[in-house]
Amino acid sequence: MQAVQQEIAQALKVQPPFADAAARQAEVARRVTFIKQCLHNAQLKVLVLGISGGVDSLTAALLAQRAVNELRSETGDAAYRFIAVRLPYQVQHDEHDAQACLEVIKADEVHTVDIAPAVRALALEVKALEGGAPSMVDFVVGNTKARMRMVAQYTIAGARQGLVIGTDHAAEAVMGFFTKFGDGACDLAPLSGLVKNQVRDIARSFGAPESLVEKVPTADLEDLAPGKPDEASHGVTYAQIDAFLHGQPVSAQAFEIIANTYRKTQHKRELPLAP
């Protein structure tokens, strides 16, 4: 079991647990520098990120805003900007959490795009959905929501000549818990290699309130199961996933679920197949 855990952790470049606050801050500094370097390499000055109300987008946004603040201070160039984007599907049930995140982030700009009209218009034109089981249609359209959110972010990034930030981290990557070419599409993923508890720990170090740091994670893509917790989809807890990725003992059942899910979702973590 440990050999498999180690192999997967290495493939996902999982970072070891933070030994102390100094180690955590060193990791924060490394990732802020990474974001700044991505902008430098692309010769661009704008970052775009969708804010859902969950801790992942909150943490990525805090890192991005710090990177932009540092770049403005270092260069004296006010063109460096971070754009936080709200992407509700009509009225989001936990909009209060998303607004609370925005208050913590203090983004340079906040844009809002309601994706509902675009998602519904597309679904109405897709004949393959007609007559389908309600659960199937709901699941497929849920993935369309994720992809439409990324379309909106890239539209903003294109208009402002910026890069799109993703929120994927190791605990989601191992479970393939993202929509292919949806929230899995981005220009840079500054949370890569972190487990869920490390993401929470970084958010906490920025002063984020516990109500947001410890909020129950949900993708919230399915109309038939609004606010469905991630862990209900996983069949294991994030604590078990984190332990697995850090080479710690987990139950045989949790090990099988995580290892099997990792194998089944390998295609999501690879470039498109080619001959």
Q: Which residues are catalytic?
A: 56, 172
Alpha-carbon gap, residue 254 to 231, rounded angstroms: 12
Alpha-carbon gap, residue 15 to 24, rounded angstroms: 11
The string of DSSP codes covering the chain is -HHHHHHHHHHTTPPPPP-SHHHHHHHHHHHHHHHHHHHHHHT--EEEEE--SSHHHHHHHHHHHHHHHHHHHHH--TT-EEEEEE--SSS-TTHHHHHHHHHHH--SEEEE---HHHHHHHHHH-GGGTT--HHHHHHHHHHHHHHHHHHHHHHHHHHHTEEEB----HHHHTTT-S-TTTTT--SB-TTTT--HHHHHHHHHHTT--HHHHTPPPB----TTSTT-BHHHHHSS-HHHHHHHHTT----HHHHHHHHHHHHHTGGGGSPPP--
82: region left, alpha or beta (phi > 0 left; psi from -120 to 50 alpha): beta
